[in-house]
Amino acid sequence: MITHKTKGIVLKTVKYGETSLIVTIFTELFGVQSYLVNGVRVSSRKGPGKANLFQHGAILDMIVYHNELKNLQRIKEFKWGYLYQHLFFDVVKNSVALFMVEILQKTLKQPEANPDLFHFVEDAFLFLDEADAATVGNYPLFFSLHLTLFSGLRISDTYSKQNNILDMQEGEFVSTRPLHPHFLEEPFSFYTSQLLKAHHPSALAEIKLNKDTRRILLNAYEGFFALHVQDFGTLKTLPVLQEVLG
Domains and CATH numbers, the chain: 1-83 (2.40.50.140), 85-246 (1.20.1440.120)
Could you tell me what percent of the chain has a pLDDT over 90?
85
Question: What pLDDT was estimated at residue 49?
Answer: 64
Has residue 121 got a pLDDT over 60? yes
Q: What is the DSSP letter of 163?
A: S
Q: pLDDT, tens digit, for every residue of 186-217?
A: 999 999 999 999 989 999 999 999 999 999 99
Q: Average pLDDT in the 75-81 region? A: 96
Q: What is the CA radius of gyration of the chain?
A: 19
Could you tell me what percent of the chain has a pLDDT over 70?
97
Has residue 80 got a pLDDT over 60? yes
Where does residue 186 rank: exposed (0-12), middle (13-18), buried (19+ CB within 10 A)?
exposed
Residue 51's φ and ψ, nearest 5 degrees, are -60, -25
Give me the chain's average pLDDT, please: 94
The residues pairing with 31 across neighbouring beta strands, listed in sequence order, are: 27
Q: Average pLDDT in the 107-129 region? A: 94
Question: What pLDDT was estimated at residue 137?
Answer: 95
Question: What pLDDT was estimated at residue 241?
Answer: 96
Band (115; pLDDT cuts 50, 70, 90): very high
Has residue 44 got a pLDDT over 90? no
Pairing of strands 59-65, 72-80: antiparallel
Question: What pLDDT was estimated at residue 162?
Answer: 97
Has residue 46 got a pLDDT over 80? no
Question: What pLDDT was estimated at residue 39?
Answer: 87
If DSSP codes are grouped into helix, strand and coil, which group holds residue 59? strand
Name which of 51-60, 150-159, 227-236 the model is least confident about: 150-159
Q: What is the DSSP letter of 53?
A: G
Q: Average pLDDT in the 52-60 region? A: 96
Q: How far is CA 239 from CA 63, 222, 223, 246, in A?
A: 37, 12, 14, 11
Q: pLDDT, tens digit, for every residue of 148-184?
A: 988 788 899 999 999 999 999 999 999 999 999 999 9
